[in-house]
Amino acid sequence: MQYMDLDTRVRRWARGRKLRSRAAVAAAVVGLGTAVGVGRVVAPEEPVAPAASAAATFASTAAGPLAGAGAAEGGAAWDLPNLDHPRVDYFVEVFTGRQRKMFTRYLTEMGRYQPMISAKLAERGMPQDLIYLAMIESGFDPTAYSRANASGLWQFIADTGRRYGLDINRAVDERRDPEKATDAALDYLQDLHDRFGSWYLAAAAYNSGEGRVSRVMRAATGSVRGDEESYYRISTRLPKETRDYVPLMIAAARIAKEPEKYGFEDVVPGAPDRTEAVVVRPATPLAEVAQSAGTSVDEIRRLNPELKLARTRNDEPSLIRVPAASTDGDRRG
């Protein structure tokens, strides 16, 4: 077998895994040499600014081109059509009424993931408002798991997750990796939009499957392609969950864009974790990773919810998030 040094193996691994993050780029030049096989590859992110008001934070998700967009009362910007419908009004009442506590948690958790998701949407030129699809799917809980065996921020079932490049095995479940799952979800949503010509129809297909939406569209309209109005034309022929899927997303967006209007002015968005990525050799115990990073195993697990075992996977190196060091002397290793 041809010998490859670890740098070369990591470079090939990063390319093969199609990682697009700064961590993957940095992995191409890292040298690993600590006793437990942990090598720092990414400088800490810039310090997180003090929490802004809920309105200022959530309004930032609507930044960008507004071609074809509507505006809610009060002037909130949209880059998905904000169509009125009785079910949208109903879910606004639900979120501001009996599910207020749950929706408050959603708004708080949104602050942790909005910068990452927003940046990925902007990079692809996709609507910023698609972040609200993740909100109604998981409430921004990367460990969320449904009765249908869907998992992660974007609630992939295993087959679809694997189809879009996520590893799901005994050691890891990348549906729970916020960055990798977001890349996969945006790939899937873009494919669905290319097929159906509408983000509402893409969302419906994301929920119930492209085959079902294609069949219903052909039967109702004679074509699989349509616009946002098409969703409401066919919604009564879709399963109940899918029938309410877009109204849920639009209702969540209306509140999140103008939280003060709906009585959520006191919500403080959570701040993204300040982390850096390290390359860890196969089968490294998480206790050793934590010791090297100067943190706890529980914190390593929290920052890397895709990990299923008390060690890293044993078939290839892993990129692991650890708390960012405030100074070079803050990290043991």
- Rounded to whole angstroms, what are the CA distances from 5 to 28, 29, 38, 211? 12, 12, 16, 46
Averaged pLDDT, 90-95:
98
Mean of the pLDDT values across residues 240-261? 97
Cα(128)–Cα(79) distance, integer angstroms: 7
List, for residues 304-330, the tens digit of each pLDDT value: 999 999 999 999 999 999 999 854 444
Residue 238's contacts (CB-CB under 8 Å, 6 or more residues apart) are 204, 208, 212, 213, 216
Say if residues 309 and 326 touch (Cβ distance below 8 Å).
no
Distance CA 96, CA 115 (A): 25
DSSP 60-80: GGG-S--TT--B-TT--B-SS
Give the span between the Cα atoms of 9 and 317, in whole angstroms. 9
- Work out the average pLDDT over 90-104: 98
- Model confidence over 192-242: pLDDT tens digits? 999 999 999 999 999 999 999 999 999 999 999 999 999 999 999 999 999
The token pair at 215 is: 């069949």
Task: Say how many residues make up the chain.
Answer: 333
Q: For residues 265 and 149, what is the distance between their CA atoms, to the nearest angstrom?
A: 35
- Residues facing residue 224 across a β-bridge: none
Check: CB of residue 30 under 8 Å from CB of residue 7.
Answer: yes
Closest Cα partner for 280 from 288, 269, 272, 268?
288
Confidence of residue 15 (pLDDT cuts 50, 70, 90): low
Mean pLDDT of 264-292: 96
- Give the model confidence (pLDDT) of 16-65 as tens digits: 555 444 344 333 323 333 334 444 443 333 333 334 445 555 555 544 33
CB 42 within 8 A of CB 23: yes
Structure tokens at 233: 């034309």
Q: In this model, does residue 261 exceed pLDDT 80? A: yes
Task: Give me the helices (H) in 20-99, please.
Answer: 22-27, 54-59, 86-96
Query: pLDDT by residue (tens digit) across 117-161?
Result: 999 999 999 999 999 999 999 999 999 999 999 999 999 999 999
What pLDDT is stored for residue 333 in this prediction? 41
> What is the pLDDT, as a whole number, of residue 11?
46
Q: How far apart are CA 11 and CA 192, in angstroms?
A: 31
* Bridge partner residues of 285 (DSSP): 311
Catalytic residues, which ones? Answer: 137
